[in-house]
Structures are given as C-alpha cells and as structure tokens.
Structure 1
Amino acid sequence: MIDLYYWTTPNGHKITMFLEETGLPHRIVPINIGKGEQFAADFLKIAPNNRIPAIVDHAPADGGAPISLFESGAILLYLADKTGKFIAPDLRGRTETIQWLFWQMGGLGPMAGQNHHFTQYAPEPVPYAIERYVKETARLYAVLNKQLADREFIAGGYSIADMACYPWIVPHEKQRQNLDDFPHLKRWFAAIRERPATQRAYALAKEINPAPVVSEDAKRILFGQDASVVKR
C-alpha cells in the first residue's frame, strides 16, 4: 500500500497519473497547501522540504520497514522501478527517460512555476519578470516540441518522463503559450489527455479540490515563506 500525500498541483498530478496507470494500491492523504497543512509535524517527517507530493510505501521491495520519499521526480522513478513499468529496462532507454525526467524537474517545472507566479499571483505586474519567464517557457516548449518531432512520446514509449511533463503543459494558456506554435507538442498533449488514467487522475483532483482558487490568505502562506518556516 502506498500513502500519497497530495494536493492538486502539477507535481501532485504526476503521481496520481502514475498510480492510475498502474493500479498500484494506494491511499490519498490530502494536504491543503493553501491552509498551511504542509507545515504539520507529521507531514514534515515525511517531506522535510514542506512540499507535496510525498509518499510512504508500506510494502517496499526489500521487505523492510516502510520507505518515505519526497520530490515528485524521485517518487516517479521509485514507483517505476518498484512496478517495472513506464521506464525502459535497457540502459539506453532508461537513460533517455531519466534525463528528460530531470529536464522537467530542473527546467520546465521551475520556469513555468515562476511564469505562473509573475503572470497570475504577484501583487503588482513586474514586466521584466513576466517577459523573462514567458519567453523561457516558450523556449522550453520548443525544446520539447523538437524532441517529439519523430516520436509519439518523449522517450519513445509512454513513460514517467511524459507523466512529469504533461501536468506542466496543462495550464499553457495561463503561461501565455499557444500550442498551435508547437504542433508536435500539441499532438503529444492531446494523446495523453485522452488516456483513461489521465482523465481519472484529473477527475480525482476535482473531487478533492473542486474550487481551486488561491485566496489572499493562501497567497500569504504559499508566497511568504522564508527560513523561519523550517522547524528545528
């Protein structure tokens, strides 16, 4: 049994997509980050960076004590290895999948996240920051579009690399991106959107958080963090 500590963010969706694809037994533990539930002591024992998602695997492959993980990319890789699914078994295929997973973790996610912040949540417009992150998001879309020019999915077969990237493309309109500018990416995006597991994962998100509005109180919690929030 996997306990998934989850909220309805792109990083959270990555893990529900994987779990829906595999049918791996799991339990969802909602962590409402807009209410500050990510700072609860019990959650911090699992996720010391006070971020979702995180998991606890109560049946690890070595038969030992439960294993906890934080960081969505690490979780995807762990679950792929646990199940033997959505990562190629051969060296070259596995390497390609992992490098695109890290590309998302180090590039697409952080840059699109800053795009979201400055285009939607900043208390006042910062033109330089908006231009900077909208352009960088477009560059990253172009990189992904080029990778998809001769293949159906990012690393060949459908994999954790696709699951990592897709949720960050879902809000493309809010990121001020037009998918018509990236035809290979647009085709890939539509194919993943139609997968039954993807649809189940996003339906679950609507059940857990039916009105995903970021209130002013939530903004203070989410965007006002500094070193003082790290409990010692």
Structure 2
Amino acid sequence: MTDLSAFPITKKWPARHPDRLQLYSLPTPNGVKVAIMLEETGLPYEAHKVDFATHDQTSPAFLSLNPNNKIPAIIDPDGPGGKPLPLFESGAILVYLAEKTGQFLPADPAARYQAIQWLMFQMGGVGPMFGQVGFFHKFAGREYEDKRPRDRYAHESRRLLGVLEQQLARQRWIAGDDYTIADIATFPWVNNLVGFYDAGELVGIQDFSHVQAALERFRERPAVARGLKIPA
C-alpha cells in the first residue's frame, strides 16, 4: 500500500485509499475542472472537501501542499517514476492528467499547443474576469454604489465571450472538433457566470449562440454532470 504519511496534509484529510489520487478541492469553477477531468479519464481518486467557511485553505496542513492557499491541489501516489507527486494550479494539473492518461490533449504537437494556448486563455482571461463579475454582481461588490468596476469587468467578459463565439462558430469545441482540456477549463466558468453568478443578462449571453450551444453539449456529458458536484 502506498505511504502518503510524508505529506502533512494527510493528517488533516486522511487518505482512506492512499493508492488513489488525492484531490483537495471545492466545487468552484477552478475546483470542478480537476474533478471533471478525473471523471472523464476514469482515474481512481479520492476527493477531500477544503471548506472555505472554516478557512481550511489557510490551514498549515493545506499550505503544506499549496503555499498559495488556493484550490484545487492533488497528490498523485503514482507520479513520475512511480513516486508520489504533489501538484497545485488547476491548469498545470489538467496538463499533467492529460499527459498521464493520454486523453484530452492532442498527440500532434501543433494541435497540442493550440489546446494549451486556449487553456492559457482561460487561466489568464476568462477565470479572472468572470470571477470579478461574480464579485461585483453577486457578492460584496454588488453593494458598491459606483458601478464602473462592475461594468468594466462585464465589458471585458463580454469581449472574451466574443472571442469564444468566433472559435465555436467554426468548430465543435474551443481548440478544434475534439473535446480537450481547454473545454474542461473554460466551460465551468461560463456555466458559473450564467448560473451561480446570474450574470447572463449583464454580459448579454443571448448574443453568443455558439457559446450557449457548446455549454449545453458540455453539461450533457455524464462526467461533467458528476464532476460539477465534487466534492459533495
């Protein structure tokens, strides 16, 4: 049996199945990326809830795995060379899992970098901008009388949706006709924007028919339906 006792995080979140990949997360847009990827690939894993309400993410145990105190993070007991691998940052985890399983990242070098390019588009643009819309539209920022910050982020989010719309007008998925980690990274954020943040009207989601159609295809995938709820 794999021994994960060298990782302090396993003292706070004991591994019942230490031979399985350990996921430390919460069902936020960034968190469910990795849960969806694990569900899609079929890799055995064990999910641990990092509860923001009790500030689990700033606990010494969690910081020992991710000093940036953000979810998700993983420990793969069967990492490179058969040694356990700790890893944080959702984009890095998606690339790692894609390469580990040979799934959802094209083997062709040119197509591979196209998919990674769109993954970076999500990490650097979609996530931060949509998240700011959520803050100013749904959370504490909605109380601000000055709506210029909200409108700035809503305008930029609309621009990013326009970029996605152009891509999806000519192909089934963001990086091509095949479903990749670019989609697994991006659509949880689109789903959150129009769902949990209730900002569809604010950003004019009705103007982006191809984005909406792709979001529906994404939601219809069984692994996505499961992953959006993990960890419970």
CA offsets per residue over residues 73-115 of structure 1, 9 Å max, x none? 0110111011110000011110000000000000000011111
1:180 has 2:180 as partner: no
Q: CA deviation at 1:122?
A: 2.3
Contact map agreement 1:172 1:179 (CA 8 A) in 2:
no
Q: Flag structure 2 segments of 5+ consecutive residues without an equivalent.
A: 1-19
Contact map agreement 1:5 1:28 (CA 8 A) in 2:
yes
Q: For 2:45 and 2:88, how far apart are their aligned partners in 1?
A: 16
Q: For 1:37 and 1:10, how far apart are their aligned partners in 2?
A: 18
Within 5 Å, give how 1:196-207 maps onto structure 2: 196-205=222-231
1:92 has 2:110 as partner: yes
Q: If the length of structure 2 is used for normalisation, what is the TM-score?
A: 0.85
Contact map agreement 2:119 2:185 (CA 8 A) in 1:
yes
Selected match of 1:8 from 6, 22, 27: 27
Selected match of 2:169 from 131, 149, 173: 149
Q: Flag structure 1 segments of 5+ consecutive residues without an equivalent.
A: 209-232
2:87 is paired with a residue of what secondary structure?
Answer: strand
Q: For 1:94 and 1:130, how far apart are their aligned partners in 2?
A: 35
Aligned length: 205
1:20 has 2:39 as partner: yes
2:86 is paired with a residue of what secondary structure?
Answer: strand
1:160 has 2:181 as partner: yes
1:192 has 2:218 as partner: yes
1:63 has 2:63 as partner: no
Q: For 2:72 and 2:168, how far apart are their aligned partners in 1?
A: 27
Q: CA deviation at 1:171?
A: 2.4
> What is the identity, as a one-letter code, of the residue corresponding to 1:148?
L
Aligned structure 1 segments of 4 or more residues deviating by more than 3 angstroms: none
Q: Which moved more, 1:109-118 or 1:121-130?
A: 121-130
- Aligned position for 1:133: 153
- Aligned position for 2:64: 45
Contact map agreement 2:22 2:47 (CA 8 A) in 1:
yes
- Aligned position for 1:102: 120
- Aligned position for 2:11: none
- Aligned position for 1:212: none
1:122 has 2:140 as partner: yes
CA offsets per residue over residues 40-78 of structure 1, 9 Å max, x none? 1111111110000000010013222x1111111011011
> What is the identity, as a one-letter code, of the residue corresponding to 1:154?
I
2:82 is paired with a residue of what secondary structure?
Answer: coil
- Aligned position for 2:97: 79
1:188 is paired with a residue of what secondary structure?
Answer: helix
CA offsets per residue over residues 23-46 of structure 1, 9 Å max, x none? 101000110112200011111111
Contact map agreement 2:29 2:192 (CA 8 A) in 1:
no
* Superposed CA RMSD: 1.2
Q: For 1:109 and 1:203, how far apart are their aligned partners in 2?
A: 19
Q: For 1:178 and 1:49, how far apart are their aligned partners in 2?
A: 34
> What is the identity, as a one-letter code, of the residue corresponding to 1:38?
Q
Q: Which moved more, 1:196-205 or 1:46-55?
A: 196-205
Q: CA deviation at 1:21?
A: 0.6
Q: CA deviation at 1:200?
A: 1.2
Q: For 1:41 and 1:171, how far apart are their aligned partners in 2?
A: 29
Percent identity over the alignment is 43
